Structure formats: structure tokens, C-alpha cells
Structure 1
């Protein structure tokens, strides 16, 4: 992602008002960390929030009776394993919502890491991310209030691991709760969501969050987005909305009302039929803005 796209979807004063207003609705958990903030969400879930980086990525610790699932491991700037160990003494297994760098940063600190059975995603985790690939993501513009004291910024990389694979509709049994893997490509070819039917929660990963939705990616670093596939995914997700109460999103704000998915489907369809305005970003992308989110695609 270029700096120009970053500037288009977050202003240069992006850190003003952080944490966002919605976090006041949740109990902030006292932990020892100079990078993460943790919030207790309904139904035994912790939001682990990286508020000091432009990405504002959120990982979720989902508590089960026998095991816990950590949905994503963040950027690898702060040590998320140390935070998780303060929140539970149960066995923790990692599920990656997809293989983008800001969701897999501390994978190597856990013994069991799962990702969708996409060959390119599996291959990416096996090679990790190099210092050269990640150095732009430590630009001072992207950081607020400094990096963690023990973080070695000169050697920032994401270590390779040997992941386990997940299938569409696979059930993850945590003991007293079950999570269903939903294959939701579009943002990336390996994107998944986790559905907690009992508690009426959908963990959306990067397929939806209340900010700019990226449908423009191509290349080895981010993989290939697919606009039509993204729309079809959102149509399938919209069918779940009547049975949902909460969306838990992986960037910016942790909890959103499920009805917004209907608006996302409408937005994609408006782009197709040409009824929405857009602005040109970085001379090669279009950003379409809607209430509560935007969509970025390649300029045609």
C-alpha cells in the first residue's frame, strides 16, 4: 500500500481522538503493556487493540472452556503473547483471518497457528515478511506516542512458521462454544470470518470494518483482491444478519451493528451501476465514500 493511499483513508492527524469514542462502551482491562490496550467485550471476548499505529489493528482473544482462540496476532511490534498470558492460563491456538502482515506479526510465539487452506497464504506464512518489506510500516507518520521500549525497529521482520490449514465450514470446538470458519474472499484470496452462532457474533476480519475497505490489491505482498468476489461474499454474509447481534471487526472499532452489512452490499452494487461518486487516489485508484466506510478499487 502506498503512502498516498494511506493519506487518503486516514488524515495525517489520524491519532486525534484515539482511542475512539466507542471504546468508552467497554471495560478497559488493566494489563502490563506499553503498546496494547485491552477491552472486555460481551460473551467472554477480549479486544487487543494496537492504538498507537495507523493500522489500528484489533486481535481478539475468544475464551472457551477448554481452549481459547486468538484471532490474529497483530503487527509483531508489541509482544501479544505476553498480553494473552495475562488474560488466560488456558491453551491458546491462533487463527489468522488472512495472511496480511498486520495480522500475523507474532505467529511465531504460538505453537498452533491456523490459516485458510490457500496455497499462497500458507506459503507466505512459511517465508514470513522481511525487514525490507516491513520498513515502510515504521514510518514516523504511522506511529503515535513511540514504539515499545524493547522493540528492535532496525530488525523488524515477521518470522516464518509452519501453519496448519482450515477449511470452509470447519468447526472449532472450544468446549462450551463453537466457532464456524466461513470462507469470505474478496479483500484477499484467503480471507475468513469466524461465526459464533450461539452468541450471535461474527468476527469479520478485514472483510468488513468501519473504515476504507480495500478491494484494489494485487501483487505478492498483499495478494489479489477481487471486486466481484468481494460483492458475492458480502451478499452471503448479509444472509446471516438476521441471526446476528454483533460484528467484531479487526480494525479501528471493535463492535459494529450487523445491519451495516446491508449497506455494504448496496454500496458495491452502486459502484457497479455507476451511481456513486468517487475520488481518484494515487492516480490509479478510486475511493467511493459511504456512511461509516468507503471502498477502494482500481481505476478503470
Structure 2
């Protein structure tokens, strides 16, 4: 009996060591893949580094793809951009992690729920631990919010739910109303304090009913989800979308915007050309950032069309949804 008990204790101990080793390997792997491009750089140099950043962009044959599940790019001392491997999801959504003194904001959680395939929570906690060690402080509270409620932006929520010191804002109208306490949606804005760093929440429905954009006071980024990005932007409600773009233009006139960053890259590096839906290999994709000039150009084009119509610009395409896709979007909640 004693021998069996000792054997059981030994097996449990070995299993714990294996898990600990796996977590350490993940932590080391993430640390090794973080791009430290921010040391001693001016704000213009930081933006240039982001404009020139070549992201991992999939493979012709995903069976041979050995890229990490999550690419981690460190923009400055406390701002990160994560991209999901295109061989896990052709959407390859971008996820933004903004570290404040008290809280870490995670914008969107990607297109894959499985922690084994897509260890997003562990990645965020690795960054959390890194900053706690640097500051000689405790781990920060993690706040998970969403640009909108399509499934390629919330699938890994389950990794964060029921974790200690984590708040997940549900990606639906109820969750938005309860957390942000909007009284005049979509005209009202609100602010979240991360501790020494604040973000402004701007309602931007049109692509989807609960869509929001986020302005970060530290980086001067305007994070626009699927409302504005270098790709094909499918618009469900035309007039709502026009109003949202106008709202963003008005915001940029009052606030410095260093870059407009969306949730995907679908455009090629040739003006007006884009990769088709489902593409898993994008060797000639455009850069991630759009600029205020792109927003102004889009606003100008939208103002000329009262009725929904396709708009093709050098860096993005706006495509109105027809009645059937709208119906699918409303019922299923995952279209585009």
C-alpha cells in the first residue's frame, strides 16, 4: 500500500514538473519572439517601425507551417500587438494589449477557443508577469473588451472567464450597456482608466451593431476593429456606418492620431487589390496601419453616396451587405 502511495505521489510530482516546464517553455518562447523595437526611438520612428513591420502571413501548405500560434510585437514599453497564425484561422485577427499601472486591456480574443492550439490567456499572463517583475509589483487586473461581436473577435474569451483578477465584458449589447453605462448610444463616448493611461471608447456601429473603436492616449492609436482596416469592410447598416466614420473624423480633428489600426490585413501591397476570403497565405500583404488621410478620403467618398454602394480606395474596400448576408449576420452572428 505504501509503495502504491509513493508511486502515486511520484507520478503527481512528475506531472506537475511537466506542466511547469511547459509553462516555462511557453514563457521563454514568447519572450524570445517579442520584438523589442522601441528602445530610444522617437514617436515617428516607432510609427515607422510599425508601418514597415512584416507580419507572419501564413503558408501555402499549413501542414509545414511552424510559425507560433501567436505572433507578439512589442511597440513600446507597454503596448503590444498580437496576430493569430493564419493556419489556425484565415482571418488572422489582430489583438491589442495595452498595459497600464493597474490594468491590462485586451482588445479582442481571436478566432480560436482552444488553449492548446491558441494559448492567448497564457500569453497575456506572461506579459503580465513580465511587467510585474519589471515594476516590482503584483500582477495587474486583466480587462477583456471587444471591437464587436463577431466570433473571430471573442472565441478565446473562455480562456479568460472565471480566471482570478480578470473581467470579461460580454460582446453583446447587454454587456456593453452594463459595463460602459452608455446613456446616449452611439453619440456618447466614455473613458476607461488603466492607471496612468486611459482609453476612450467610441461607438462605431455599421459593420456590426455593437461595434466600438478605442483611442489610446499613450500611443495615440485609434483602434477600429472591423470598422476600418486594410481589407474588405462589409457594412451591414449603411447610414450607421456613414455616421460612425463621420464620428471618427470629428474625433481625429480634436485628438492627435498616430495610426489607425484595425483587426485584419486583407489588402495586397498593390493599390485597390485584396486577397479573397479564406486565403491562408498572403506573401504580398499590405502593412497594418492606416492613417488619418485614409479616414478622410473614405469619409469624402461616403458623403457622395446616400445609398449603399461599393467604394474602392487604394488601401481598403467598403462592401455593403445584401439582404441575405444581413439576415445570416443577424441570426448566426458570425458572418464576416
| TM-score, shorter chain, exceeding 0.5 | yes
User: Shift of the alpha carbon at 1:43?
Assistant: 6.3
Contact 2:154 2:171 in 1 (8 A): no
Query: Corresponding residue for 1:244?
Result: 257
Secondary structure of 1:39 counterpart: strand
Matched with 1:197 is: 217
Q: Supply the distance in 2 between the matched residues of 1:230 and 1:290 (Cα, whole angstroms).
A: 16
Q: Deviations over 1:181-212 (max 9, x none)?
A: 11111111100111123542211111110111
Higher strand fraction (1 or 2): 1
The 2-side partners of 1:26 and 1:87 are apart by: 21
The structure with the larger Rg is 2
Q: TM-score, normalised by structure 1?
A: 0.64
1:103 counterpart = 2:137: no
Task: Provide closer, same or farther for how the CA distance between residues 42 and 271 of structure 1 changes in structure 2, counting only shifts above 3 A.
Answer: farther
Q: What's the CA shift for 1:55?
A: 0.9
Higher helix residue share: 2
SS at match of 2:317: strand
- In structure 1, the residue matched to 2:313 is 290
Number of aligned residue pairs: 216
Distance 1:287 1:273 in 2: 10
CA offset digits 1:222-277 (Å, max 9, x no partner): xxx21011001101101122421222221125432222111111232344379xxx
Structure 2 unaligned spans of 5+: 1-48, 56-65, 130-139, 161-165, 183-187, 266-286, 324-336
Aligned CA distance change for structure 1 residues 113 and 164 (closer, same or farther; 3 Å): farther
Matched ranges for 1:155-234 at <5 A: 165-166=179-180, 167=182, 168-215=188-235, 225-234=236-245
- Give the ranges of 4+ consecutive aligned residues of structure 1 lying more than 6 Å apart after TM superposition: none
Contact 1:114 1:165 in 2 (8 A): yes
Quickly say closer, same or farther: Cα 1:298–1:246, change in 2 above 3 A.
closer
Unpaired segments ≥5 residues, structure 1 = 1-21, 124-162, 216-224, 275-285
